[in-house]
Amino acid sequence: MKEVIVIAGPTASGKTSLSIELAKLLNGEIISADSMQVYKYMDIGTAKPSAEEMQGIRHYLIDELLPNEEFNVVKFKEAAEKYIEEILEKGKQPIIAGGTGLYISSLINNINFSETVSDWELRKQLEREAEEHGPVHIHDKLKLVDPASAASIHPNNVKRVIRALEVYYQTQKPISYHNEKSREIPPKYKFILLGLTMEREKLYDRINKRVDSMLENGLIDEVERLVELGYADSITSMQGIGYKEILSYLRNEITLEEAVETVKRESRRYAKRQITWFKRVKEIKWFSIDNSGNTNNMIEAVITYIRSHCA
């Protein structure tokens, strides 16, 4: 069974840097498991690695879609598995790097989403209800039919709440049932799971500084350009952290200071959710970043761990 390296962890923890270093050392190529970096024109707010930062390493699922194109866990899993095969055929090491927990779980647990068809009319109806009555109203509906899923999905994650309802109404079984059934088929690959961690205070400081850097590097100009290109704030990608807050500032709904503080706060909250998600994955081997944030100090330990788990 071929090995696939997976690097997980919260935003601003150093996943990009580590993945590139490992790719250089192990003759690897990188597949992004980030729900936002897949979009073109959205570079600064997604902390997308530049061509210079990539250091000649081939990256997949970065800059592949327009901001108004749909990207979800089903499309991610299909594309990621296709790219894993392409990388292996070249005799190279596939490396998955990203912080979108659902995407990574879909791969390592081999969740098969094709068994549940989509009901677009029902989805649109539920979206309208969420807009009219708020996310709690929709979440309460899910509580009635699938309390287990409702407990694991935050009410503000309207998209996932609606998807869980859609699956239940179609099949009369909770989405957790379908996920468990699909997990009965083992994955095609042996996943070597690495997690990056650091002191919470240090992580939050890195997040705050990253947001400041985004502003200095032209985040406002980036959002203005997206608006000029015709990408409305109603599309999913423009609801990403950093984009929706700057849009509110550009519409004079909040001050720039309020927008920046909100981006920082929401980014910290997102990091906390990521940590909670990944801590549930028992197979992850955690590596701690030192206070300097330099990944070089742990590269040797990571390589030793990887080689001890390879065939």
Q: Retrieve residue 212's tokens.
A: 């400041």
Annotation: binding site: 9-16
pLDDT tens digits for 137-148?
999 999 999 898
pLDDT at 311: 64
Let me know: does 162 contact 123? Beta carbons within 8 Å.
yes
Q: How far apart are CA 12 and CA 207, in angstroms?
A: 6
What architecture (CATH level 2) is domain 3-110+186-308?
3-Layer(aba) Sandwich (3.40)
How many other C-beta atoms can be found within 10 angstroms of the C-beta atom of residue 184?
A: 8
pLDDT at 231: 93
Annotation: binding site for substrate: 11-16
pLDDT at 294: 58
**Would you identify the CATH topology of the domain 120-182?**
Histone, subunit A (1.10.20)
Q: 3-110+186-308 and 120-182: same fold? A: no
Let me know: does 197 contact 13? Beta carbons within 8 Å.
yes
Q: How far apart are CA 298 and CA 301, in angstroms?
A: 5
pLDDT at 292: 55
pLDDT at 208: 98
Annotation: binding site for ATP: 9-16
Q: How far apart are CA 6 and CA 1, in angstroms?
A: 15
Low-confidence stretches of the chain (pLDDT beneath 50): none
CA-nearest of 129, 157, 138, 261 to 208 is 261
Domain ranges of the chain: 3-110+186-308, 120-182
Let me know: does 297 contact 290? Beta carbons within 8 Å.
yes
